[in-house]
A and B are shown apart, each in its own frame.
Chain A
Amino acid sequence: MNEQHLSPDLLVDYLHGELAPEDDALAHAHLSSCSACRGERDLEASLLEALRESVRSSEQEMPSLIKAAIWEQIRQAKPSPMRVLASWLRPALVVPALAILLVGGWFASPYGHPGTAPTIDAMYYLEAHAAQTAGTPLSEQGTQPALETSMIDSGSTQQLADAETSLASSALDGSR
């Protein structure tokens, strides 16, 4: 990545969400502080949106009669079970299938997880929602439910579960 400005290729990848998370974070941080790159980004984004809009407007639904005729031909062309079995044995299919099995086996093994895909802690969603709704009228005096859940989550979830279970039967009597 250029230290000074984002390259056009990198900007395009950024807009398509195709950067690795670390590069994505760097690009995002750079954009927040570089007005020149933000301008480039906005220009690319508007071009991209114009292209999408153009494609959307030119999309046409295939006439239903033609669609029905194609499906009918596909159904009629259904091969016999023996023919399906024979097709599986063709080298052109066997080789990729083996490759898939090998790759799958690699990722299923302990060696296959050097860099797992990033995840987002579900508590983040609950906390971020609660934080942004803190200014809602009448919410001021209440406790902070998402915060409490995260505090318990980091401590003893089982204790909360026990307390909730003991409360549940009496609580449900009157509410539902």
Chain B
Amino acid sequence: MVRVKPVAGALVALLCLVSSRPTPAAVAPATPSSAVPSSAVPSSTVPSAAAPAAAPSALASEPADPATLLRSSIGAPKVVSYVGQFETVRFASSRASATIVKVEHRAPELTRRWYVAPEALYGDYVITRGISTYQFDTKGAKLTVTHNPAIDDPVIADGNFYRVLQNYKAIYDGEAIVADRPTVSVVLINKYTGERAVRVWIDRATHLVLKKEEYHANGAVASQTRFEDLRYTTSIPDDIFSIDAPAGFSRVAGQDAAAPSSDIEKVVRDAGFAPYKPKALPQGFDLVSGDVTMVNNVRTLHLLYSDGLRSISLFENATGAAADFGALHPKTVSFEGHDADYVEDGPTTLLTWKEHNIYFALVGDLLINELVDIAKSVVP
């Protein structure tokens, strides 16, 4: 059983985290911690941190090429095992939401996230085993199982990294201590706009990303994630990753994520209607995949656009099915004679509207005015 701080204490800690805001200066200076246990990091598989104990001094005098470091960091969770506490703050335009989770990760693909905050999720946990996710709702005594083929698709991963390097410039941005470990900071700058999109702090020894900040086009922080506590180890009991339903739990199958296809022509044929596509996307975005899914008996086309780091989804249905926002409390925005509904889920915005008898839904980590600009170009 994992011990956790009381929720109130965790939220107080979170308030301190939020009020101090993410700036490099907010990272407390500290001396480098002890070397990573060799058992936690198979040296033969870590791309450029082959000898973790020796890596810090080598990197201190000669930082790795930022792009190489970045590539290495993306593969790090496949080879590094750890336990720790992970905090995420996501900023919407008028409010922020935060989560604190205890994480146990055994490379290459076993992870348990145990929620400490917010209070509504306290005690719930999620176990991922490769493409399968097991969501344990302890209050509702329900285990929901879903599958997502996109999680572990090496072709998608390679394509995304290629697009990152094509559209972003990786820049070395100094060193700092995060979770008591020395890190190298890398900033990704959009090549077309010159805007800073993402900043990551990468563990010098293991290349695990210990902290990440994402930024909106206006420079505001969209989200921040960071380890507050981290220990590399492979000594994690198997029980931690048990996917057996506890006594009294009902086990249900959730909606599986669709398998994305890069054969867009086939996807459009499956959709059965002539879809509309946005004509004005931010530079660097390409149509990368699509899928057709039956949702509540409605054939729904999903087109995914990405520049490697950021993504935009366009959903269309010709069956007259509007979006049901439930408890999400949508706001209204008008453009070109349409009344559209939108809702912010942290930095992610969902915009829905109807045009030419097709219901559209646009989703992306973009501000509402940016999404409206894209929506205007869908049916010019």
Contacts and interface: CB of A to CB of B under 8 A. Distances in A.
A167 interface: yes
B117 interface: yes
Contacts, number: 269
Interface in A137-176: 137-138, 140-149, 151-157, 159-160, 162-168, 170-176
B137 A151 contact: yes
B121 A132 contact: no
Contact of A117 (B15, B105, B320): B320
A145 B326 contact: no
B18 A167 contact: yes
A25 B151 CA distance: 27
Interface string B139-183: 110000000101111001100110010000000000000000000
A171 B87 CA distance: 14
B91 A171 contact: yes
A41 interface: yes
B255 interface: yes
Nearest to A119: B324
B304 A132 contact: yes
A167 B98 contact: yes
A73 interface: no
Query: How many interface residues does chain A have, given as a range?
Result: 35 or more
A21 B319 contact: yes
**4 A-B pairs with least C-beta separation:** A174-B21, A17-B318, A171-B96, A131-B257
Given A49-B274, A132-B150, A175 B91 contact: yes
Interface stretch (B232-240, B278-286, B289-297): B289-297
B83 interface: no
A97 B20 CA distance: 64
Contacts of B90: 145
Contact of B299 (A24, A42, A128, A164): A24
A128 B257 contact: yes
Nearest to A128: B302
B59 to A, nearest CB: 19
Contact of B348 (A119, A126, A156, A170): A126
Contacts of A153: 326-328
Given A132-B302, A151-B121, A165-B95, 7 more contacts: A120-B295, A122-B350, A125-B350, A125-B363, A128-B313, A137-B160, A147-B135
B118 A163 contact: yes
B150 A131 contact: yes
A123 B273 CA distance: 24
B311 A133 contact: yes
Contacts of A144: 126, 133
A91 interface: no
Interface string B236-265: 000000000000000000010110100000
Nearest to A149: B345
Contacts of B187: none
A155 B139 contact: yes
B237 to A, nearest CB: 21
B243 to A, nearest CB: 16
